[in-house]
Structure 1
Amino acid sequence: MAFAYAMNVDKVIQKVLRGDYYRLKQAYQGYGEYTDESIEARPYDIDKVMELMTASGWARGADGIWEKEGKRFSVEVSYSFDEITERLVVLKEEAKKAGVEIRIQKLDNSSAYKKFLEKKHDVAMMAWSTSFHPRYWQTYHSDNAHKPQTNNITNTDNKDLDEVIDRYHNSLDEEERKVLSRKIQRMLHDQANFVPTMMVPYFRQAYWRWWRLPTPPGTKHATDLFDPFDDSLFWYDKARHAETKKAMKKKKAFEPVTIIDETFKPKG
């Protein structure tokens, strides 16, 4: 939990990503009634880190890093994507102010993936793809802990959590599943084994005027406006194409059109 409070994700979003990303609240945000909307990501809070660490018997060492019985609060963060490096540098410097040392380890994609699945990492900085409904068994059930080649990369082994996950997994009642889903999310949040960083719940695209889009131009699940296999809705306007080609030959330019659609913009 102290590690979570030592991560200045908001500074990364504002300084590195120029405010263009959103802070992710939890791992299962965006699932409607399946999501516990009361859960918020822990903010950067040096005082809270101090409170938690001193209560656990740790003290600041000569270099400011927390120490206890010869151990340092030193964590290796492994990752594989180049664009993450600048973000981690900021997190590292901010964590140091809170007394937490971050050691950055850049790996190639295959090495990082192998390390994570074999549970040989301290902290993995990565992204998971999402599903249409929250799924918990493969990621947080103890059946998948303490063994390689499973998605439980946090090695979560909590029998109380297992019991709720099993009930959720086996239930055929939608309302019950929603209640259980929210309960699981609260238990995961209290466990603090996942630090929400950032999300990009939008995309930008440029296209010729002869491609037409409905209103709104995309679906809630679309990640591309012009992929027929990705919940996209678009059509070809033959008349507009001919009109545009004719205008090109005459060196005539149409005014560019910018569409900003916020139909599915996250709240908050």
Structure 2
Amino acid sequence: MRRTLLATALLLPAASWAGLPDNVEWLTNNNEPLFASPDAQFGGTLRTAISSFPQTFRTAGPDGNGAFRVWLLDKQPQLLQRHPDTLNYIPDLATHWAFGEDNKTIYLKLNPAAKWSDGQPLKASDFSYMLQFYRSKDIIDPWYNTYYSTQIERIDALDDHTVELVFSKEMDHDALLYFTHRLKPRAEHFLKPKTDKNNDGVDDNYVRRFNFKPEPTLGAYHVGKIRKGKSITMQHIGEDWWGYTNRYYKHRYNVDKIRIKVIRDNDIAFKHFEKGDLDVYAMGRPEIWYDKSQSKPFKNGYIHRFWGYNQMEVGAGGFWLNTAKPMLDDLNVRKGIAHALNVDGLNKKVFRGDFSRKQNGLGVGLGPYTNEDLSALPFDASAAIKHFEQAGFTQISSDGIRVNDKKQRLSFAVTYSHQVVTPQLAYLKEQAKAAGLELTMNLVDGSSAFKFALEKKHEISYHSMGTAPRPQYWEYFHSANAGKTQNNNFTNYSTPELDALIMQYRGVFSSKEKERLSREIQRQVHEASVIVPGVMAPYIRSGYWRWMKYPANPMQKKTEALFTIGRMDDFGTYWIDQEVKKATQKAVKKGQRFDPVTVMDTKYKPQ
């Protein structure tokens, strides 16, 4: 039975809806369990930090895919959501949905209470404008241009609150819902062009005009005060936010403000946290969890620790090898690098065995979309040397690094974005020498590192990407993106065979066939050794001052973060207890102690 059939059906006469087919069957779902707490208190300011100021406040165009877009777009309301535990579809911007008979069309009834953060009502025409916006060349974003021109046929506003969405190809109902639910509108009233020579509804100077001009949002928070290079404050709409008309949003997003300070060094950020200048801190790093949490604020019970397991999808990532760079176009060189990277040793020696090795560079945890037969190449210096010799690197220089007849050194720069990664790469660098491979470390600050990779300047980029339950491959491996900048083909790798598979994957009707094609795409990418899988953690670890509160059952399967720590990737179920905060601050001044607290939530721990 499809998940969509679990929803509640409502038959309405066609006369109630202009342009709809007769006896359309509206579906909704208000029966899933709630996961926020009715004990939550509204108010207060959460203080958190990011390592670099965003390159832009745009979410389309050059640099629009940076980390801060999570705040601006990715975690904003969309047409439908998936419940974080049951994974069934639930209402969001749309309260109801219905399917057309052509396997291409879906109808959506919008919540009439929905408003943009500037007070303007959400209209069905904002979705048709979204399509117009993403197809415009003025946004200078080839990925959006291609996707919205090829995957969606049209979007029509049947009235102010009814959307007709028609895809370019037939799909089963599961696929229709999946590709519909994540769509987010654009505020037509805000993006209205000053100059529009193309007559496409988008400003001719969109990229420059909106570079640091945040758009209104539909979420509980919008961009408030900006201190360029120093901090950003996200301001709550207020307790009358339209989202609270939706039962699934009640008792969520409880703090009045989120003040995001730019602190470029993680160790300095931790010191701010210990002093109480930050309310929360990510404690995924073993040295933070095991060592630095032995300080007085923890022992005195002012700061608590939380470790909770989840079942998140893990996206593509690890070490991305840019095949457009010299030597990396050779399969033997790439396989040699894969064997020369001692990732398992890194987990054991540096991460204290808390992480696990990703076996698939294109991600794991995606159910039948994941090829479970694949395994990461193990650390094996002998196997690496054989591959390097087959690539012509048969000579060894005085410092132990291999060279070929052209006197090229087997040396590559690894680009990364945070100082805390340096010890990890230092370990891998020493291990790789056993195979005659030299790794040099190229630390590029924060968001600039991602820009560096988008512009394909890297040789090897050490980073990971997020993912959706259904992976996307066109952006990563289709030839349309190889050799071009500002897209996610970080490896510059493509083949005619992959192109054909990717296009079949995009156009197939059956979800089962889509799953099979996904596994085959992953197999071919794995054999090309263009991504060396890194490590992953099936859990979250956080530190928080004792005034931070959360529900009695804090973890859902898809809980990515318990608190807003640098990224807005949580469900907003936490709150600040102002009385406890006052009492704690008073206790700190007087030197009074509380019992130290470590919370372990193992509900979703792998068996």
**How far off is 1:153 after superposition?**
1.0
Task: Give the corresponding residue for 1:140.
Answer: 477
**How many angstroms apart in 1 are the aligned matches of 2:595 and 2:468?**
41
1:261: which partner in 2?
A: 602
Per the normalisation by structure 1, the TM-score is: 0.84
8 Å contact kept, 1:213–1:234? no
Look up the SS of the partner of 1:75 in the other structure: strand
Counterpart residue number, 1:38: 373
Are 2:494 and 1:153 equivalent residues in the alignment? no
Query: Is 2:418 the counterpart of 1:81?
Result: yes
Q: Displacement, 1:177?
A: 0.6
What's the % identity of the aligned pairs?
34
1:3 aligns with 2:337: yes
Rate the CA distance shift 1:194–1:231 in 2: closer, same or farther, 3 A.
Answer: same
**Distance in 2, Cα, partners of 1:51 & 1:133:** 37
1:65 aligns with 2:401: yes
Using the TM superposition, name which of 112-121 and 205-214 deviates more.
205-214
Give the superposition deviation at 1:211: 4.5
Q: 1:117 & 1:128 partners in 2: Cα distance?
A: 12
Q: Which has the higher strand share?
A: 2
CA contact (8 A) 1:6 1:94 kept: yes
Instruction: Say which of 26, 39, 48 aligns to 2:383.
Output: 48
- What is the root-mean-square deviation in Å for CA atoms of aligned residues? 2.9
Distance 1:84 1:229, change over 3 A: closer
Q: Which residue of 1 aligns with 2:131?
A: none
Mapped to 2, the partners of 1:110 and 1:103 lie a distance apart of: 20
Q: What is aligned with 2:346?
A: 12
Residue 222 of structure 1 aligns with which residue? 559
Asked whether the 8 Å contact 1:61–1:67 carries over to 2, the reply is yes
Number of aligned positions between the proteins: 255
Query: Residues 158, 229 of structure 1: CA spacing in aligned structure 2 closer, same or farther, 3 A cutoff?
Result: closer
Indicate the SS of the match to 1:142: coil
Q: Is the 8 A contact 1:221 1:231 kept in 2?
A: no
Q: Distance in 2 between matches of 1:94 and 1:23?
A: 17
Q: Deviations over 1:170-223 (max 9, x none)?
A: 112110011000000100100000011111221134667974433xx4222111
Could you tell me how far 1:54 is from its partner in structure 2?
A: 2.3
Name the larger-Rg structure: 2
Contact 1:24 1:198 in 2 (8 A): yes
Are 1:24 and 2:364 counterparts? no
Structure 1 residue 193 corresponds to structure 2 residue 530: yes
CA contact (8 A) 1:34 1:134 kept: yes
- Which structure has the highest helix share of the two? 1
Deviation at 1:233, TM superposition (A): 6.5
Partners of 1:17 and 1:141 in 2: CA distance: 35
Moved more, 220-229 or 39-48: 220-229
Q: CA deviation at 1:88?
A: 0.5
Q: For 2:495 and 2:549, locate their aligned partners in 1 and report how far apart those are by CA, in whole Å.
A: 55
* Among candidates 433, 448, 453, match of residue 111 of structure 1: 448
For 2:453, give the aligned amino acid. F
Letter matched to residue 68 of structure 1: N
1:259 aligned counterpart, secondary structure: strand
CA deviation string 1:95-124 (max 9, x = no partner)? 111110111111112432232111111101
TM superposition shift of 1:45: 0.3
Report the Cα distance in structure 2 between the residues aligned to 1:129 and 1:113, rounded to whole angstroms: 13
Give the residue type in structure 2 aligned to 1:213.
Answer: A
Separation (CA, whole Å) in 2 of partners of 1:10 and 1:97: 16
Instruction: Describe the shift of the 1:254–1:55 C-alpha distance in structure 2 as closer, same or farther (beyond 3 A).
Output: closer
The answer as to whether partners of 1:76 and 1:103 remain within 8 angstroms in 2 is yes
Cα distance in 2 for partners of 1:36, 1:117 equals 27
Q: Please state how far the C-alpha of 1:262 moved relative to its aligned partner.
A: 4.7
Write the distance in 1 (CA, Å) between the matches of 2:557 and 2:549.
24
CA contact (8 A) 1:140 1:152 kept: yes
CA contact (8 A) 2:397 2:403 kept: no
SS of aligned partner of 1:124? strand
| 1:117–1:149 contact (8 Å) kept in structure 2 | yes
Aligned pair in 2 of structure 1 residues 176, 106: CA closer, same or farther (>3 Å)? same
1:186 alignment partner, SS class: helix
Q: How does 1:229-268 map to 2 (within 5 A)?
A: 230-231=570-571, 258-265=599-606
In 2, the alpha carbon distance for the partners of 1:7 and 1:105 equals 17
Secondary structure at the counterpart of residue 153 of structure 1: coil
2:552 pairs with one of 213, 227, 235:
213
- 2:228 counterpart residue number: none
Kept after mapping to 1: 8 A contact 2:550/2:573: no
Q: Counterpart amino acid of 1:67?
A: V
Of 438, 444, 447, which residue of structure 2 is paired with 1:101? 438
Q: CA offsets per residue over residues 212-249 of structure 1, 9 Å max, x none?
A: 433xx42221112367974577899xxxx9xxxxxx9x
Shift of 1:60: 3.3
Residues in 2 aligned to 1:226 and 1:117: alpha-carbon distance in whole angstroms: 29
AA in 1 matched with 2:374:
I
Mind listing any 5+ residue stretches in structure 1 that lack a counterpart?
242-247
**What amino acid sits opposite 1:86 in the alignment?**
P
CA contact (8 A) 1:8 1:43 kept: yes
Q: TM-score, structure 2 length as denominator?
A: 0.39
